[in-house]
Amino acid sequence: MARLPRLVIPQQTHYLSQQGHDRQPVFRDSDDYIAYLAWLREASWKFGVALHAYVLLPESIDLLITPSDEEGPGKMMQWIGRYYVPYFNRKYKRSGTLWGSRYQATVVEAQGWFLECCRYMEMRPVLESAAAEPVDYRWSSYAHHAGIQTDPMLTDHPQYWQLGNTPFEREAAYRQKMERGMSRTEIDHIGAAVRGGWPLGSKEFKQELEKRTQRRMSPGRRGRPPAEMSLQSRKTNKPDT
């Protein structure tokens, strides 16, 4: 699937992801995760990026954010890389790039999709056999949303607040959502959007983005256009003379 050129819209929720080069590990021990999270906390504050959810996996990182301006996410990720990559290379006596490519960004319609993306993100350790249950995985925001441990670097999203009137109600409602799990269709849909950089949201949301940015917001149809197919068929089926 073709990837949409990276799009960042201020005050809009985004799903950010980045993978290690050739899917090589970018975290090898607990100190690596702790170091990355410390720089993530500082960079998100420094560049005005509200962090709502995250998961750090051995070979990748996923973040749910809301930037205050268009340049914030790029500056944040660049700043983290400026510190984390040299740290990692020195520690493991290696050189060269650590990440496979620049980070990917997917614009998310918060209404209807924020909590789904949050659940997908925090379920990834289970989906990728890194943990038996989300609660068993230390390097995600699940403990915060489930009321197990407060994470001060997170900013609770308005959609999370709508789960209940008190912290107890919100945490209980979120745990119930996680316990229900996600369908394979939901998982595949979010995964495809994240990999391709295509917006997640309703048809109306995507149409509004297209008007606002003058950019296509959904993948084109695969294969040749019908006219081209017809022309090719005529050439192929043309009788010998």
Domain locations in the chain as residue ranges: 13-216
Pick the range with the lowest mean pLDDT from 23-27, 105-109, 186-190, 209-213: 209-213
| CB neighbour list of residue 136: distance below 8 Å, 6 or more residues apart | 125
pLDDT band, very low/low/confident/very high, at 80 (cuts 50, 70, 90): very high
Of 64, 72, 11, 63, the residue nearest 43 (C-alpha): 72
Could you tell me the sign of the dihedral formed by the alpha carbons of 159, 160, 165, 169, in that order?
positive
pLDDT at 124: 95
pLDDT at 3: 53
CATH architecture classification, 13-216: 2-Layer Sandwich (3.30)
pLDDT at 5: 61
Is the model's pLDDT at 239 over the cut of 90?
no
How does the average pLDDT of the chain come out, rounded? 88
Q: How many helices (H) and strands (E) does the chain have?
A: 9, 4
Tens digits of per-residue pLDDT, 178-223? 999 899 999 999 999 998 888 998 889 888 888 877 677 666 554 4
pLDDT at 148: 96
User: Which pTM was predicted?
Assistant: 0.85
The structure tokens 């995964």 sit at: 191
pLDDT at 145: 97
104 vs 56, higher pLDDT: 56
In whole angstroms, what is the distance from residue 137 CA to residue 50 CA?
Answer: 23
In whole angstroms, what is the distance from residue 78 CA to residue 72 CA?
Answer: 10
pLDDT band, very low/low/confident/very high, at 235 (cuts 50, 70, 90): very low
Pick the range with the lowest mean pLDDT from 32-36, 57-61, 134-138, 200-204: 200-204
In whole angstroms, what is the distance from residue 181 CA to residue 12 CA?
Answer: 26
Segment 85-97 mean pLDDT: 95
In whole angstroms, what is the distance from residue 189 CA to residue 203 CA?
Answer: 14
Query: From the CB of residue 65, how many other CB atoms can be counted at a distance below 10 Å?
Result: 24
Is the model's pLDDT at 224 over the cut of 80?
no
